[in-house]
């Protein structure tokens, strides 16, 4: 099972979502940014690293939210969600097609990757 960490990154009472690269698996779908946890890496350190790599941005991880195990046809992932605060002023798109700041109510306007959909069962 692949461990993946995802951030619910807040700014001004909205959270960050990112559109997956069209050339990658599930391209064009929206997700909570993050990525695979590397060997000997804590979930929090992994999330900080991934946000730096994907957006050249700094975050502060604030709170564990929950987990979701999802079975894709070609792999199983354990997705671990954390709330985080954006510390950087700017976000650069280094891996994603687009990003948006949305409220929970606006989330129904976006098609999320199946594993990320589970976040809406938690108190975010």
Residues 97-117, mean pLDDT to the nearest whole number: 93
The predicted structure's pLDDT at residue 34: 96
First and final C-alpha spacing in the chain: 25
pLDDT tens-digit readout, 10-38: 988 899 999 999 998 888 999 999 999 99
Q: In order of start, what are the domains of the chain with their CATH numbers?
A: 2-121 (3.90.79.10)
Can you give the pTM of this predicted structure?
0.91
- What average pLDDT score do residues 63-92 get? 93
Q: Do β-strands 59-71 and 34-36 pair in parallel, antiparallel, or remain unpaired?
A: unpaired
- At residue 124, the pLDDT reads 74
- Give residue-wise pLDDT tens across range 88-105: 989 999 999 999 999 999
């Amino acid at each position: 099972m692949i461990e993946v960490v995802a951030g619910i990154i807040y700014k001004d009472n909205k959270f960050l979502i990112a559109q997956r690269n069209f050339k990658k698996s599930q391209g064009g779908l929206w997700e909570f940014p993050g990525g695979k946890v590397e060997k000997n890496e804590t979930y929090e350190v992994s999330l900080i690293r991934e946000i730096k790599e994907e957006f050249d941005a700094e975050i502060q991880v604030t709170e564990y939210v929950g987990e979701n195990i999802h079975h894709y046809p070609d792999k199983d992932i354990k997705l671990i969600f954390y709330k985080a605060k954006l510390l950087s002023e700017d976000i650069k798109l280094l891996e994603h097609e687009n990003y948006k700041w949305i409220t929970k109510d606006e989330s129904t306007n976006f098609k999320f990757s199946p594993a990320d959909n589970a976040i809406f069962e938690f108190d975010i």
